[in-house]
Amino acid sequence: MSERVTILGGGLAGCEAAWQLARAGVEVDLWEMKPGKRSPAHRGDGLAELVCSNSLRSDNPENAVGLLHEELRRLGSLVLSCADATRVAAGDALAVDRERFSALVTERIRGEPLVRLVHEEATHLPGGPGLALVATGPLTADALAAEIQALCGGRLHFYDALAPIVAGDSIDREVAYARSRYGKGSGDDYLNLPLDREQYQAFVAALLAGEKVAPHAFEELRFFEGCLPIETMAERGPDVLAYGPMKPVGLEDPRTGRRPHAVVQLRREDAAGTAWNLVGFQTRLTWPEQRRIFTSLLPGLARAEFLRLGQVHRNTFVEAPAVLAPDLSLRARPHLFLGGQITGVEGYVESTGCGLLAARAILDRRAGRPFRPPPEGTALGALHRHLTGRGHLPGTPYQPSNVVFSLFPPLEGRLRGKQARKAAHVERARRQLPEWIP
Ligand SMILES: Cc1cc2nc3c(=O)[nH]c(=O)nc-3n(C[C@H](O)[C@H](O)[C@H](O)COP(=O)(O)OP(=O)(O)OC[C@H]3O[C@@H](n4cnc5c(N)ncnc54)[C@H](O)[C@@H]3O)c2cc1C
């Protein structure tokens, strides 16, 4: 196949994919709407702009995102090499000078003879048969988002409402009891944290008083329409939560036979029960406030380890397991691939990784061979597992995710302690990745 590949979006995923394709000898047209038009969060003129924090998070491979850094470096990632070259001191985090980082990515892309930069907004999806990658990110411009929405039959979302996730072994099982509402499912699918009236009232008061993240100007209107943070529900009346996400009906505590005044329901994030989601607890409380309020006022969470904290923010993403084939192409338009945050991965590094995955899939398609996904035990494989719904529990909604060890397949054998489990994940990933390196 000799046609050029079109990439829409010169962010982290689009630049990474363009680089990987060009390095493999493929000609690319890379469309970026800046500087003529900007999303509400983008400010600079360069490619690969980091719109918020300047940190690509932990660089320690015993952290899942640090492991992803390591894999991306081994695969010749443009983004990681530019991040390393513009690094600033930040402990074990990989933080960068954002201006120099974006300038360096731009310079390398401009210097790549097989990439042609087109500074224009894409208002339509490219028609086939030439292959194209859509990597327009969490703030995809409206016209294009509407076309993707039409192709996905409504499975494109504009907001993320993320509830916190806690590590299973940090929940106090003397307090939590296993039960699903009215004993549905296998009867004990959920963990429940019971609250009496005083505990509930103290919790609601803390939610109301707690410090919140101010919404961006472009978020407010639609955020109140679509996905209500728990503190917004609490503002509507003192009992609203007890009749909503903290409803105790059908959740009698088997140890007392009585129904608590309110409950916090925890739903499994993975089959092994290493991670549990606080159902309905999407929130705009600041992260320190979430830790303080949840650990001090929710019974059973005093020693909780948060694998993810809650947030509500603008984010354009598709329900990847339903609308994407395993090679990240749209089932409805197989010549169109999706990459980056629009697929439902979350964060700078994950979006970069997903851009790299999409480029590998495009190379396989062009070569007429089936897509070879990354080995499951690697960090890239864990992202791919997430995007294809493997490891997802039936009946749970698809939600964007950072790379975390609970996305990885369960480890074999019994390993005692978190450090031992992290080390085993790293060992397995390092053993498996070479199978996939070109
Ligand atoms: C307000 C905000 C704060 C965030 N804070 C963090 C954070 O602190 N840490 C973190 O890890 N992640 C953060 N994220 C997420 C992070 O921005 C993404 O994970 C990452 O940038 C996604 O990479 P991407 O390449 O998929 O999209 P982007 O980096 O957004 O790149 C998409 C590019 O496509 C362009 N584009 C959009 N539509 C069109 C079109 N129709 N035609 C042509 N070009 C188009 C855009 O201008 C942009 O350059 C934040 C996101 C937002 C919105």
pLDDT in tens, 17-68: 999 999 999 999 999 999 999 998 898 999 999 998 889 999 999 999 999 9
- Compute the distance from residue 137 Cα to the ligand 1 centre, in Å: 5
- Compute the distance from residue 380 Cα to the ligand 1 centre, in Å: 19
Residues with C-beta less than 6 Å from any ligand 1 atom: 8-14, 31-34, 39, 41-42, 51-53, 121-122, 135-141, 144, 216, 314, 340-342, 347-348, 351
- Compute the distance from residue 272 Cα to the ligand 1 centre, in Å: 33
Task: Pick the residue whose CA is nearest to atom 14 on ligand 1.
Answer: 347
* E strand or H helix that includes residue 93: strand 93-96
Q: What is the mean pLDDT of residues 294-304?
A: 97
Strand partners, 162: 311
Phi then psi dihedrals of residue 117, to 5 deg: -90, 130
For residue 328, give the nearest of 13, 97, 10 by alpha carbon.
Answer: 13
Q: CA dist 324 to 137, 174, 193, 321, Å? A: 16, 42, 37, 6
Does the structure show a pLDDT above 50 at 225? Answer: no
Helices 418-432 and 379-387: crossing angle, nearest 10°? 90
pLDDT, tens only, 71-104: 999 999 999 999 999 998 888 899 899 999 999 9
Q: Is 118 left (phi over 0), alpha (psi -120 to 50) or beta?
A: beta
More confident residue, 393 or 130: 130
Does the structure show a pLDDT above 60 at 220? Answer: no
Separation CA 230–CA 240 (nearest Å): 10
Percentage of the chain modeled with pLDDT above 90: 76
- Compute the distance from residue 79 Cα to the ligand 1 centre, in Å: 14
- The pLDDT assigned to 221 comes to 47
pLDDT band at 224 (very low <50, low <70, confident <90, very high): very low
Give the 3-state secondary structure of 351-369.
HHHHHHHHHHHHHHHHCCC
Separation CA 397–CA 224 (nearest Å): 20
CATH topology of domain 5-162+314-435: FAD/NAD(P)-binding domain (3.50.50)
Select from 39, 77, 308 the residue to mutate for testing ligand 1; criterion: most ligand atoms less than 8 Å from CB: 39
Query: At CA 86, angle to CA 81 and CA 89, rounded to 5?
Result: 115
The closest-lying atom of ligand 1 relative to the alpha carbon of residue 145 is: 41
Does the structure show a pLDDT above 90 at 122? Answer: yes
Select from 124, 139, 149, 350 the residue to mutate for testing ligand 1; criterion: most ligand atoms less than 8 Å from CB: 139
Strand partners, 336: 132
The closest-lying atom of ligand 1 relative to the alpha carbon of residue 123 is: 41
More confident residue, 153 or 79: 79
The closest-lying atom of ligand 1 relative to the alpha carbon of residue 314 is: 53
Select from 16, 19, 20, 33 the residue to mutate for testing ligand 1; criterion: most ligand atoms less than 8 Å from CB: 33
Separation CA 348–CA 402 (nearest Å): 9
Contact 219, 313 (CB under 8 A): yes
Does the structure show a pLDDT above 90 at 2? Answer: no
- List Cβ<8 Å contacts ≥24 apart for 361-366: 361/327, 361/328, 361/329, 361/337, 362/5, 362/17, 362/21, 362/26, 362/131, 362/133, 362/337, 363/20, 363/21, 363/24, 363/26, 364/327, 365/131, 365/327, 365/329, 366/1, 366/26, 366/131
- Compute the distance from residue 424 Cα to the ligand 1 centre, in Å: 33
- Compute the distance from residue 327 Cα to the ligand 1 centre, in Å: 22
Contact 5, 27 (CB under 8 A): yes
pLDDT band at 128 (very low <50, low <70, confident <90, very high): confident
Separation CA 154–CA 135 (nearest Å): 19
- The pLDDT assigned to 117 comes to 98
Separation CA 64–CA 405 (nearest Å): 6
pLDDT band at 312 (very low <50, low <70, confident <90, very high): confident
- The pLDDT assigned to 160 comes to 78
Residue ranges of the chain assigned to CATH 3.50.50.60: 5-162+314-435
- The pLDDT assigned to 227 comes to 63
Range in 39-48, 214-223, 292-301, 407-416 the model is least confident about:
214-223
Instruction: State the average pLDDT for the chain.
Output: 92
- The pLDDT assigned to 150 comes to 93
Task: Pick the residue whose CA is nearest to atom 24 on ligand 1.
Answer: 137
Count Cβ atoms below 10 Å from residue 249 Cβ, excluding itself. Answer: 11
- Compute the distance from residue 360 Cα to the ligand 1 centre, in Å: 21
- The pLDDT assigned to 161 comes to 79
Sort 42 into a burial class: Cβ within 10 Å, 0-12 / 13-18 / 19+. Answer: middle
